[in-house]
Structures are given as structure tokens and as C-alpha cells.
Amino acid sequence: MIDYKSINTPVLQCTDMKHSLNTNGNTISILRGLNISLLPAKVCAIVGPSGCGKSTFLFLAGLLDRPESGEVVLRGKTMTHASDRERTQARNNFIGFIFQFHFLLPEFNVTENVILPMLKQRKLSITEMKSKAQNLLTDVGLGDKADRPAHQLSGGEQQRVAIARALANSPSLILADEPTGNLDLKNSDRIFNILQRISRDKGHAILIATHNAELAQKCDYILHMQDGVFI
Ligand SMILES: Nc1ncnc2c1ncn2[C@@H]1O[C@H](COP(=O)(O)OP(=O)(O)O)[C@@H](O)[C@H]1O
Ligand SMILES: [Mg+2]
């Protein structure tokens, strides 16, 4: 087993990240100089009131858009000025996303949903993909539901499929935006415990935007976002 505690290169570093949005001709400053450095095998919560910029931050950290200014460094490589192609590749290979709404393909079975990111990456044979999907599904407690259509699963189970899908390409970084926002207490706890365990066992760095204070307390770090900065 790798000792992730001995690895000191941050998975994600953001420096002085600024971003604004245009609405109806008005420019609103959303992020006003965010800094973060996240090591492997660490779980970090981002908390703050609705509308403070948590989702915007995860979106930019996930290379889905470019910040207006500042740096995003992924696994030691500056991504801010990388080409679109490089950024897409980095996103597919190194980042997994989990959202409040799972965005599974309802008519596809659970295994097929988990395999989708692997198909994009094109590194494994179909047999290897299926076997990896089965392992991931077992990890999230759904080993026996692999052949079920996604829409037949409960909300909590669907979110666990979404976790397995986020892990499909063994990402270094997992970005989770209100991953338990749609779930009851018992399922929220279960999802959170799974995230914590996989981070510890496999070294994923995890950023979780949440307004669940109890859940945030269990993370390795808590960053409070207010008026576009971490306080
Ligand atoms: N596409 C958009 N166009 C205009 N304003 C937006 C857009 N997305 C988000 N915002 C605004 O940006 C701010 C930050 O939003 P968001 O990052 O979603 O906050 P949070 O996730 O913390 O609730 C809010 O004031 C929101 O209204
Ligand atoms: Mg949000």
C-alpha cells in the first residue's frame, strides 16, 4: 500500500483565483482571490452560504471554464493557459465529478453508467472495464446491483453509482458539489463515509462543497467561503 502521507506534491493548487460573471449588462465579481493547496488522500470541505461561489469555484478547479485571472495547477502542472485539448485530457484522466443530482443515464444499467468515463479514456479493454466497474460497485456497496437499470435504484444508491462513475478513471482529484444535498441523513452519512474511506485507501484528494456543517466537521480541512474569498 502506498503511504499517501509521505507525498507532498499538491494534487490541486489555486492561486489568487478571480472570476466574475455578466448578468443583464452588470459584471458581478464572484471569486475575489481564492487560494488553495490540496494534498493527496485529504478531504476538504468548502462551506458558505448559498450563492457565495462554491459551485463556480469547483467548476473552474475542474477545468470546465477558465478563471479570469489566477492559476490552477493540477498535479504540479499549470492548466490555466493549457490548450482546450490538454485541459479536456487532464479532466478525463485526473478529475472525477460528483453532483447533487447524479446525472446517470436512467435507461442504461449500473455497470454501463460506470463504464462511460472509461470509454472516453480508451485505456482498457471492455473486459477490463467491466471488471473494474464491478470492483468499484463493490466498493460502494452495490456489487449485487450491477445489471439493474439505473432508474430502478433508490436516490442513495444512484448517488453511490455516481461515486463509482467518478472513480472510473482513478482520478487524483474528486470534486463533489453538494453530493448529499438531495439525500436523507442516513444516506448522507453513508455517502460521506464512502468518500472518506476511498480517499484514505486510494489517495484521492476530495473537495466537497456542502452546507451540511456536521458533514464538514468530519473532513480533514474546512474552508469557509465568504464574499468570494476563503476566510
Ligand atoms: N450562469 C450564471 N450567470 C449569472 N450568474 C450566475 C451564474 N451562475 C452563478 N451565478 C451567480 O454567481 C454567484 C455564485 O453562484 P454559485 O457558484 O452557484 O454559488 P454557490 O454554489 O455557493 O451557491 C451567485 O450569485 C449566482 O447567482
Ligand atoms: Mg452551488
Domain ranges of the chain: 4-9+38-63+93-230
CB-CB neighbours of 194 under 10 Å = 19
Name which residue sits closest to atom 7 of ligand 1, judged by CA.
21
pLDDT, average across residues 44-65: 95
pLDDT in tens, 91-124: 999 999 999 888 999 999 999 999 999 999 899 9
Residue range 141-169, pLDDT digits in tens: 999 999 999 999 999 999 999 999 999 99
pLDDT of residue 2: 63
d(C-alpha 169, C-alpha 86), whole Å: 16
- Say what the pLDDT of residue 8 is: 79
Q: Is the pLDDT of residue 77 over 60?
A: yes
Q: What spacing in Å lies between the alpha carbon of 221 and ligand 1's midpoint?
A: 24
Give SS3 for 141. Answer: coil
The predicted model gives 41-69 an average pLDDT of 95
Q: What is the pTM of this model?
A: 0.94
User: Taking all residues of the chain, what is their mean pLDDT, rounded to a whole number?
Assistant: 94
* Residue of minimum CA distance from atom 17 in ligand 1: 53
Domain spanning 4-9+38-63+93-230 has what CATH number? Answer: 3.40.50.300
Rounded distance between C-alpha atoms, residue 24 and residue 60, angstroms:
22
DSSP assignments along 109-143, one per residue: BHHHHHHHHHHHHT-S-HHHHHHHHHHHHHHTT-G
Amino acid identity of 97? Answer: F
